[in-house]
Structure 1
Amino acid sequence: MNSAKHLLPLAIALHSATAAAADSVEEEVVVTGRAQEFYLESETRVGTKVATDIMDIPQSVQVLSAQLMRDQAARQVTDLYRAVAGVSEFSYSGVTFRGFRDDANVFYDGVRGDPYSGFGVPQLFNFERVEILKGPAGALYGGGEPGGTINYVSKKPRFEENTEVNLTAGNYDRLGGSVDTTGGLSESVAYRFGTFYEEQDSFRNNADAANQEVAGGLLFELAENTRLTTTFDYIEQDLGGNRLRGVPVDDDGNFLVDRSYNANEKGDFQDLEALVLQATLDHWFSKNLSLSTTLRQLDNERDQQYHESRGWVDVNGDDKEDVNDGTIKREYRKQHRQNAETSLTADFVYALDTASIDHQILFGGDYHKVDTEYDYFRARYEADGVVNLNIFELNYGETDPSTYNLRNMGSDGAKSDRYSVYLQDQMELGPLWSALVGVRHDTFEDTAKASGYRFEDNALVPRASLVFKPLDHTSLYLNYSESFNPIGLGEQEDVSEEGSLDPETGNQIELGIKSEWLDGSMMTTLAVYTITKKDVTMANPDDGGLDDGIPALINVGKVESQGFEATLVGDLSDSWTITANYAYNDTRMVKGAEGQYLINTIIENDRFSDRFANAPRHQAGLWSRYDFPSINSSIAFGADYVSEQFSFNGQRVKPFTVFDLSWSTAWNDTLVQVNVKNLLDKEYAVSGFNERNGHFPGDPRELVVQVTQNF
């Protein structure tokens, strides 16, 4: 994909055109002032692929609204995890989801195609809300981990005439701005155009970030019963000093050096460029039958050059690494990744009313094709010219990548094809009971470009749920759902001569109760669940090496996750809104090959532990805003608590609690907002990695000032 580093002329031209279109109908606009909105969303598609009241979805669901994102000054997805019960930060944009590490169950407008894949961090400028479905979703969305699914709902063209300009400033030299405008070009065509840019230094050494995005689209009312929505999204994310690893710690989780430590040099970077084109056609054949089909095309490129810690240097000559000296050996990685992805989804919805049961039947299918390129060069240790780094007396700048002995580690391009069909029936069994049943069949084919090795398999995934409504504002549900996750092509190729690996499978039983309070202005969800993940791939202790007829990997692992979640969102009064959550989770490996462990399990003092890394037992989040209408102002307060965790090497990640504060005031259509994140400047780690890379530090105190003007 050709680089487009400077999009300002295009942005100005497009904005001028859309502004001129807005001016042509300006006399029709009535300015009524900007009103605060609240956090409760009552409907979503994420749990059923059909617009459904959250009270009727037989699974735990959370929807994070645009107003919540605005109030929290959220810029990237990691800013939102505190608002989601059972979700905590793992690394980059990856999460621990009901105990399971996951960075792949990500959808955009209900379809696959993540422009930030490959260690990027999703920015929130182009999204109107974020939807979270808890637990397995294989019957709806196909392959993935059983913890949950995140769906980003993008902003769309609208006939409503509005232009919003936002300016942002803050510490660490944060500076940015955005323009977002919508309106009608004619009675049947609407537009949206937006552009965003923000840059900021980091509290980590040698690191900074610059994000720019241009997005928009056109909406065509082709007929009374037909609508076509087209969108585009161009993204550049330039992260200096990345990929960021952690800060070294002792076994009790105390940072050995300042949290600003970074193993990267000043010239290291991770650059991402992506272009997404999407079109959705909605057609109503009749009042009972409709079709929604989405085509999504994604191209992205990621280039990385960075230094990675590899372990402490043996300074005593006793063949033991010595942390006391603080000298760490590094390797240098130069990597290029490129994805070309096509997603096509078609959903038919048919409403069928019978004498005793009303049905809403979903029949659909999707296709997802991915073509990847991956080139990898590496220089390791002083033998290849990579100078060691002393963490106590930082000696940045003494090493020069242009002199390294780079070794070609090979290319690893692949092609992947996913095909599926699915069927779902939402049934109203009477005034008190409803049920949902569904099934999906997936076929997946992977091909390694270099070797031509090809692997294919399939999976049949069911789902069944029952909802009971004893009261108008209360629903009890029982849900059974499954997941499957195909084993990666590289691992399949490793055992191709000795047997293939089955997909990892999971199932969940969830029991919950949802209630509406205060005339429907507040909703609570209480859920208990148990998830079992089976056929987990592990190293085979009986393997004797290549060509011995015994596979190196086998499907024997079994993991169980049990937990409880409680969420509350809504309005306590006309001026007071709140979102709060608590989650308890215990995830353990209950079966495995002797002497082996999973990627998420822990080695404590060189012994196996069945606890999962970065899987806290307790989490709690709170955000509450109180409005003062008489002075057009509001204040908000937030808190985030995560209990003790452990890294892969069993090093403790200490529990933490951080607090946030916000104040905003409005004059007509101008909003001024000040957010203070990590109010008490708590020093903490959000998660752990391994001993040589340490823990991922949380952000120190941060001040964000925003001025937003609506026209």
Structure 2
Amino acid sequence: MAARFLAPSLLALAFGSIMPAHAAEAAADNIIITARAQTLYRVQDTEVGKVPANPLDMPQSVQVINSDMIEDQGARDIRDLYRNVPGLSANNYATVTFRGFRQDTTYYDGLRGDPFQTFSVPQLFTIDRVEFLKGPAGMLYGAGSPGGTINYVTKKPSETFAANIRAIAGGRSRYGGSGDVTGALDASGAISGRLGLVYEDFDSYRVNASSRTIIADGGLKFRLDENTSLTVQITDYDQDLPGNRLRGIPVDANGNFLTYRSWNHNEPGDFIRYNGLVSQARLDSKLSEAVSFNVAGRWFRYREHQEYHEPVALRDTDADGIFDSITREFRAQRRNVEGLSFGSNFVVKTNTGPINHTILLGGDWYREDANSRLQSSRNVPMLSLNDPQYGTANPIDLSTLPITRSDARVTRYGVYVQDQIGFGDHIILVGGVRRDWFKDEDHIAGTQADASATTWRGGAIYKPRKDVSLYFNWSQSFEPQSVANQSPLVGGPFSPETGNQIEAGAKTDLLDGRIQATAALYRIVRRNVLQIDDNQDAVNGVDQMAPVGEVTSKGIELTLTADITRNWLVSGSYAYNDTRITGSAEGQSIDNSVGDRFPNAPRHQAGFWTRYQIPAIDTAIAFGGQHVSSQLDRSGDRLKPFTIFDTTLTKSFAFAEVKLRIENIFDKYYAVSGFTGPKGAYIGNARSWFIELRKRF
């Protein structure tokens, strides 16, 4: 309860530290002044390719969701943005499926150090924009999935004063508030600061479950000279999630849910408590018009304490052929993760005659230590799917349960070089290479694996005019095998999984941004996937592994953002993906696959968002939808296709701005992804709504 009263006090302190110097500048705002595609959603600069560049000048599919779109849609966490990114869909918790492959590594300001690695979902309050680089990015980021890379760009202090304060209320007892303020802290503007705080509390549509989130965020920017600045930031995340960790709702082979949406396998006393702390610093310097560099470091730590009831097996207690109950296991887990990363980029622009060069030299280093402890007991009563009786489970004395521990360290570091060559105004060629080294250590098993990898990237762009870009790229990725599979007991160590992509596409920024469109056609091949090798005998009862798996992903992606009229904006996307196993040991199946298909990889996705503003009454109406075709879960059960719709209504008054958001307007009961039979299908949010009152200065 104390946190509920602490949040408003901290927010008042944050505003009080900056606002007095700027009180005379405060003025009512108007939502109507920037409501066009060329200004509202348009992004003309991104650093996801390590060098600041217009997306049209990058030979790879890139999509950026900026703060205006995040705000316009009322998005609270990353799941609210999936409809906008073709080829991206929910997997489970914070992981996604990216061009057919599971992806669970994300970056913040270009560095590793994700504070949402397990069962918490990335929040957007501290995020200015989210950058999605499609396909392999090994040359730029090192080890990772070949499907794509997500980079969160955080909000930074600004010399220009800006502030806003918000209050929120809505269905399921939702309430909360947030605010942030930024501006110069001295008369010369040499030091600027930013402070932000959010508090939000609401009940889940799942019985016994609710959510409380507090995020405090701050930063300072020091202008050391005209061309050099140092930015330091710190963010604290605190979440209390009673009735979690939430699994899904069981389904039958045809995707029919076996119980109602509000059912929960957790008891009223179950919970997740999460705390994450992040600090980072970055030095940017422009030595001349031709030479610039940046050096950055990021440290993070998160602590997660869980006590919950895990679904184990479905049961048919009355022998009528229909599952009606589920067995459970009580689990108490503690996870502790700490990571440190550094990165540096040195950019040189030079000419050799009529040819322009942008040369990138860089390197990065990352270390992460993770340990956990697990206690579990199956001395738990079964739970009915249709008539659950909560509170019947006997309290479990944790001191009587054995402890299973894990303790691991991963180390990643690499260096890279890239040259972007411009031939006049129409042709750009890109080529780069990276060398990586990595070491994975399991301190419990006493094993370690270390190796190295080289990845390449090449591309070409032809611009028949400055607002049209035709591109082609070939890129690679690598991903180390898991520590457990590197053990000599199973035949390890093994070379990393590798991926390569061929992609061709077109991008436009026509009519000064009034029509922004992209089209991409790609083929990704992932090799060295480990499988049990039936040609080798088991050693001491342990199956031997071999890197004999291959998976191929093919697809097409389309996006369009356009001004229909001066007051009517439309954004839409479509993706087709076909991911299949194209090489495998006879009689074996690649882990997490179902036949020759992969779970949670829909073939068809489509999404749209349209916004119409009525200047005469200072009102904007927005409406969006998402369609996802059928999928398979990890048990091979079908997940039905779904189509959902959301809306927002924003009205400006003289004193403030009011936003109404309704999610899942028609209260569709649907599955966004699936796990295994007893753990069920992860379900989309039931219909919800909130009203937000905001005052901007």
* Interval containing the TM-score (normalised by the shorter chain): over 0.9
- The 8 Å contact of residues 283 and 292 in structure 1, kept in 2 or not, is answered as yes
2:78 aligned with 1:77: yes
Matched, 1:394 2:388: yes
* Misfit runs of 4+, over 6 Å: none
Q: How does 1:354-365 map to 2 (within 5 A)?
A: 354-365=352-363
Name the counterpart of 2:416.
422
CA distance in 1, matches of 2:623, 2:585: 48
Is 1:482–2:483 an aligned residue pair? no
Q: Does 1:99 align with 2:103?
A: no
**Larger displacement relative to structure 2 (285-294 or 550-559):** 550-559
8 Å Cα contact 1:601/1:648 also seen in 2: yes
Q: What is the aligned partner in structure 2 of residue 166 from structure 1?
A: 166
**Which ranges of structure 1 fall in alignment gaps of 5 or more residues?**
603-608
Relative distance call for 1:280 and 1:668 in structure 2 (3 A) is: farther
Equivalent positions of 1:20-59 (< 5 A) are 20-27=17-24, 33-34=30-31, 35-37=33-35, 38-59=39-60
After TM superposition, the structure 1 stretch with the greater mean CA deviation from structure 2, 193-202 or 698-707, is 698-707
CA shift at 1:7, angstroms? 8.9
Are the aligned partners of 2:461 and 2:472 in contact in 1 as well (CA < 8 Å)? yes
- Runs of 5+ unmatched residues, structure 2: none
**Quick check: 210-219 or 693-702, which moved more?**
693-702
1:10 Cα shift?
A: 8.2
Mapping for residues 316-465 of structure 1, pairs under 5 Å: 324=322, 326-380=324-378, 385-403=379-397, 407-465=401-459
Task: Within 5 Å, give how 1:274-353 maps onto structure 2.
Answer: 274-313=276-315, 315=317, 324=322, 326-353=324-351
Is 1:344–1:367's contact at 8 Å kept on the other side of the alignment?
yes
Deviation at 1:471, TM superposition (A): 2.5
Asked if structure 2 preserves the Cα contact closer than 8 Å seen for 1:425 and 1:437, the reply is yes
Match of 1:19, SS?
helix
The answer on whether the counterparts of 1:47 and 1:59 sit within 8 Å (CA) in structure 2 is: no
Match of 1:533 among 518, 522, 526: 526
What's the counterpart of residue 568 of structure 1? Answer: 560
Q: Residue 644 of structure 2 aligns with which residue?
A: 658
Which residue number in structure 2 is paired with residue 249 of structure 1? Answer: 251
**Aligned equivalents of 2:14, 2:684: Cα separation in 1:** 43
1:596 Cα deviation (Å)?
Answer: 2.1
Matches within 5 A, 1:268-279: 268-279=270-281
Greater mean alpha carbon deviation, residues 16-25 or residues 95-104: 16-25
The 5-angstrom pairing of residues 228-247 of structure 1 reads 228-247=230-249
Q: Which of 218-227 and 510-519 deviates more?
A: 510-519
Report the counterpart of residue 219 of structure 2 in structure 1: 217
* Aligned mates of 1:88, 1:269 — CA distance in 2: 27
Give the corresponding residue for 1:140: 140
In the alignment, which residue of structure 2 is the partner of 1:131?
131
SS in 2 for 1:402: coil
- Alpha-carbon separation, structure 2, partners of 1:32 and 1:259: 41
The answer to whether the Cα contact below 8 Å between 2:531 and 2:591 also exists between their aligned partners in 1 is: no
Q: Which amino acid aligns with 2:233?
A: T
**Inter-partner Cα distance in structure 2 for 1:409 and 1:9:** 36
Q: For residues 422-459 of structure 1, what are the alpha-carbon distances to aligned partners after superposition, in whole Å with 9 as ceiling and x for unaligned?
A: 11111102222101111111100122222432210111
1:553 aligns with 2:528: no
2:544 is aligned with what amino acid?
A: A
Rate the CA distance shift 1:110–1:681 in 2: closer, same or farther, 3 A. same
In 2, the alpha carbon distance for the partners of 1:513 and 1:166 equals 40
**Secondary structure at the counterpart of residue 396 of structure 2:** helix
Separation in structure 2 between the aligned mates of residue 637 and residue 28 of structure 1, nearest angstrom: 34
Provide the aligned length of Structure 1 versus Structure 2.
691
TM-score when normalising by structure 2? 0.95
Correspondence 1:199 to 2:196: no
3-state SS in 2 of match to 1:266: coil
Distance 1:239 1:20, change over 3 A: closer
Residue 16 of structure 1 aligns to a residue whose secondary structure is helix
TM-score, with structure 1 as normaliser: 0.93
CA contact (8 A) 1:15 1:193 kept: no
Amino acid aligned to 1:43? Q
For residues 320 and 308 of structure 2, what CA distance do their matches in structure 1 show? 24
Assess if the C-alpha contact under 8 Å between 2:7 and 2:198 holds in 1.
no
Question: CA shift at 1:460, angstroms?
Answer: 0.4
- Give the deviation of 1:356 after TM superposition: 2.3
Q: Which amino acid aligns with 1:304?
A: Q
CA apart distance, 1:11: 7.0
Distance 2:308 2:29 in 1: 52
Question: Secondary structure of the equivalent of 1:43?
Answer: coil
Identical-residue share of aligned pairs (%):
40
CA distance in 1, matches of 2:406, 2:526: 29
Aligned counterparts of 1:221 and 1:709: Cα–Cα separation in 2: 29
1:505 corresponds to which residue? Answer: 498
Given that residues 522 and 572 in structure 1 are in contact (C-alpha distance below 8 angstroms), is that contact kept between their aligned partners in structure 2? no
Which fold has the larger relative contact order, with Cα–Cα distance below 8 Å and residues 6 or more apart in sequence?
2
Structure 2 letter corresponding to 1:22: M
Q: Deviations over 1:476-532 (max 9, x none)?
A: 100101110001112213x35733121110000000011222332221000100000
Shift of 1:27: 3.4
SS at match of 1:700: coil
What is the aligned counterpart of 2:589 among 581, 590, 597?
597
Q: d(CA) in 1 for partners of 2:172 and 2:140?
A: 43
| 1:112 alignment partner, SS class | coil
Letter in 2 for 1:480: W
SS at match of 1:140: helix
The CA deviation at 1:248 is 1.3
